[in-house]
Structures are given as structure tokens and as C-alpha cells.
Structure 1
């Protein structure tokens, strides 16, 4: 019979890379770990590992059971965590995943009043996921996903929380600074700065440049918004960001927003959650607060 310890062993061996390291992590002897898996293999009548020299290689059956472990264990661990919190009179931890680099300023404006209203709830923000944001929801790594690109799948619910316009950001003295709007070909001689995201996921590429068959002179990536805007302000390139974020930074930096195309690029930010979790009071409260907040 498969039990939780078998799943934990498979996951830990995959994480640690060896039986010895996995045994130490699980506070077991290596012989006890090996015996447990061999007993399961005999019961199931199928091998889970094959030895390849000093390395262990998962069989097809082993890979299947590892996938089960990666789905089931996070759910059990989350359930235990919440039950312990309930036992202590605590509410829990709201784990928020971010797929929107420039949305931190917005998130901070929502988190501050939320924490004041829910003093027994902690908030944890995560950005890097093993399988992407949607996978993180399914794998119970996070409880809410902030994203401009929802993927509507069975078991998930996405709710729009605010609208914004994606604009080009240029230095105040830039040749495009006084334009009402720009055409894609006007960026062919520009250095385009963006977050370290693949071009096909960037709005300025997939909704502006690529449909017109245009590419910038050079594409450069920078992780932080502040450094990106400093580079733009010093004439080292241009970038694309939400208008509300540009206007906030324009109070301190010589930068201006310019519309991308005659009609602009309209975007929406969504909060995604597992449908089964929508009855959690503190999660639903965060969604409602985010939707009613007037920022930006």
C-alpha cells in the first residue's frame, strides 16, 4: 500500500540527488529508506528505480509516482499547516504569486490595509515557481496569482481587479517624447529595455512590434523597475510599463509616457485562485479589497 512516507522518499531523493542525502534530510538511515521502497516495489510488482552506476534512475512507474508525490504532498502539508493554525486560533498565511513585475507598488497599496483588517493572517509574496504561475496554483505553492495573462482552466477562477494602459517610456528630451502616439517602425532604431521575460510574453512585442514585423535595434533586460527607469531617464533606451507606474516615477525622474499606437494597449490585472478555496474568508476578503481599491 502506498503511504505518505513513500511519496516523501521519492520526492526527497529527486530533490537531493542521492539516497544518502535523502535519508539525512528525512532523518532516516539509508538502509531503512531503501527497505521501505523495496517493500513497496514488491507489493506493487514494479521497479521504481534502476541503478545506473552510482546513480539512481527513475523508471516510468517511478516517474508516475513522483508526479503523484509532487501533487499530493503540498496539499497535505498545506492542510496540516492550516489545521495547526486553526488549533492555535490563527487564520493562516495568504501566499500570493506574482506574474506581473511592475505590480508590486499596487500590491503594497492593497496589502497594507488588508493586514490592518486581518491581523491574524500573514502574507507571503512569491515570484519564482517550479512550473509557472498556473502550475503553482495547481501544485498548491500559492493561493492567489497576480497576472495580466490569465489561463482559464477547470478548477481555477480569475477575477479582474484593475485596468491600465501599457505605454512606452522615454526620457523627457527624447525625439518621441512629444508624440501623441507612436508607430511600431519608430522603435526600429531604439534599444528596448524590459524585465527578464521571454519576448513573446511582453505586450510591446506581441501586441505592437511583432504584428507589424518590426524589431528594436537591441533588446536589453533589467530585473528592477527603478534601475530600468534610471536607464531610460539617462537616454540609454526606452521601455514599456503601465501608465500609472510611469506617472508615479515621473514625479522624480525626467521621463514621460507615450501611447503605443493610435488606440493604445489596454490591459487588465487578474487575481487567480483555486475554485475550491473561494470559501476561505481571508482569501475572499483580499480579492474584494483589491477590486474595490481605487488604485491606480
Structure 2
């Protein structure tokens, strides 16, 4: 059985006539009849009943036609998806930010990128938030925004530097502090991501010699921010994540220790993976956009 046999069955059923089907498929009538015999021998069943000049499907023929249409449809969809991958200016970019589900910083860049590549879809993959590196290695995402550049199986493009800040509501007792000593967190309720304490870099830096009064573990960045606004606890987040809330006066961001806790963020992609040109343009232009962006430039770490 070959694809040509499936197309033949579909066309004979549609036309109801061997002559018209042969003309549509650019075959001689004898060649089409030969293909039909091959299919009937393969299934060991009669597919069409010849009644006068009409070709009528048997029960077996209807079942075979149904399967043929499904297979041909799936093949066409696969062909379209492969074409999107191989075309230079059409396709999909799956992206995730390590540990953070806030993407307010991405919208202005996407409008620029979509002007250049209108056929490229940008899909945020929230399930990869807490395991971006592994999702890159498993090819479940195309680009991960991560805070280290240590994995030898990945390529990295530096995006920007940023600082982790203590986040409190304006009425909090820390709101006028110039910086916060880590030990001050010990008598506070602490709101963090729903990950094990031992894998949280910030948690281990803050609580190496003590523990918070209570820990709330939350899955979404937005929910953490809302809990801090409500006065339920304090949190530590990158300044770029909470900047809109700080500018609006809803939150106060305070450096941690005199030196601060600073990180560099990278766009990571899988090495040795053939990617369309628009993928490289995305990472290169994103880095340029973030460096030039007014909302991040003042926090650049050198």
C-alpha cells in the first residue's frame, strides 16, 4: 500500500466513475484499474461495486475510505508543520522564563518582532517555568530565559543584568530602609515559589543561619505579588519582574545587603539543533531590545 493507492480510493469514491477519476489523477483507465486491483488484493476484499457506469462503495470500501481520508489529512497536516519548520520566515517559537511567570517585559518586543516575522507564532510554555533547562534539553521549548550559563549542551546569549530585591507593601516597617540584612527575614512570613527550599538559590542565601516565621509556597509570580500587596508576607523577586508594581507605588523594592544579590539573565537554546533563521533573529534582537529598554537599562550589572 502506498499513498497513491489512498488518493486513488478517495478520488474514485468522490467521482463515482473510473474515467473521471483517472482524468483527475492523470492516469490511464487501465493504470487506475490496476491500482484498484492491488488494493483489493492487499485487503482481500472488494472495495467498489461496478453498477452500470457508477462505482459504489462496499461496506469494506467505506471503512477503507474513512481510514484513507484520515491518513491523507494527517499527512497533509504533518507536511504543513514541517514546512513551517523549514521555511525561513514562518513557524513557532516556544519560550519560557526560569522560575518566573511574569511576561510584561516581553510585549513591547513581540510587537516589533511580529512586524518583521508575521508568520511566526510565539507560544509561552508555563509548564517549563520550573525546569527550563531540562525542557530545553528535551526539546519541549526552543528558548529559555535562565539565570546561569553553565550547561555545555546549551548556547547562551547574554540578555541583561538584574538585582533580586526584597518586596514589601508601602505600609511595611521596611519601606524606608536603604537595604535589608538577611537576618531581618527571620521574623517575617516569606512568600516564595512552590519549589523545594534546597533548589532555591535565594532561599539558601537568606536562610543559611535561620528560618522565616512561616513559608507560603505559590506557583505563580502574580499570586506572590498579590500576597505581598495584601501584607501576608514579604518576598524576594528580580526587580525587572516587579518594576510596574513599584512604579505604580503598590510595592516597595529594597536591595538585600549592602552589595545586593545580582544575577545575569541569558537566552538559552539547544546546541546542535537546526533552527530557522528567525530563531536566531529573535534571541539577537531580544538581547538588543532589553539592553536598550528604558525599564531595564538602569539595572544593568557590569
CA displacement at 1:82 relative to structure 2: 5.1
Alignment CA distance shift 1:280-1:84 (3 Å): closer
Is the 8 Å Cα contact of residues 161 and 270 (structure 1) preserved in structure 2? yes
* Distance of aligned partners of 1:116 and 1:218 in 2 relative to their CA distance in 1, 3 Å threshold: same
1:131-164 per-residue CA deviation (whole Å, 9 max, x = no partner) reads: 932222222211111112344223x212211111
Structure 1 residue runs of 4+, over 4 Å off? 79-82, 86-90
1:207 matches 2:211? no
Counterpart selection for 1:197 from 176, 192, 195: 195
Is 1:289 aligned to 2:282, yes or no? no
Scaled by the length of structure 1, the TM-score of the pair is 0.65
**1:106–1:203 Cα change, 3 Å:** farther
| Cα distance in 2, alignment partners of residues 150 and 193 from structure 1 | 27
> Could you say which residue in structure 2 is the equivalent of 1:145?
144
Instruction: Determine whether 1:240 maps to 2:239.
Output: no
Q: 2:173 aligns with which of 172, 175, 189?
A: 175
Segments of structure 2 that go 5 or more residues without pairing to the other structure are: 1-77, 297-302
1:142 alignment partner, SS class: coil
Could you say which residue in structure 2 is the equivalent of 1:161?
Answer: 159
Report if aligned partners of 2:95, 2:122 keep a CA contact under 8 Å in 1.
yes
1:229 maps to 2:225 = yes
Helix, strand or coil: the match of 1:181? coil
- What is the DSSP-based 3-state SS (H/G/I as helix, E as strand, rest coil) of the residue aligned with 1:290? helix
Q: How many residues align?
A: 215
When the two structures are superposed, what TM-score results if normalisation uses the length of structure 2? Answer: 0.63
Corresponding position of 1:135: 134
CA distance in 2, matches of 1:122, 1:104: 16
What does residue range 1-296 of structure 1 map to in structure 2 within 5 Å? 83-85=82-84, 91-129=90-128, 132-154=131-153, 156-210=154-208, 213-277=209-273, 280-293=276-289, 294-295=292-293, 296=296
Q: Which stretch shows the higher mean deviation, 236-245 or 166-175?
A: 236-245
**CA contact 1:95–1:126 (8 Å) conserved in 2:** yes
CA RMSD of the aligned region, Å?
2.7
Measured at CA, do residues 284 and 89 of structure 1 come closer, stay the same or move farther in structure 2, by a change above 3 Å? closer
- Are the counterparts in 2 of residues 137 and 143 from structure 1 also a CA contact under 8 Å? yes
C-alpha displacement at 1:111, in angstroms?
2.2
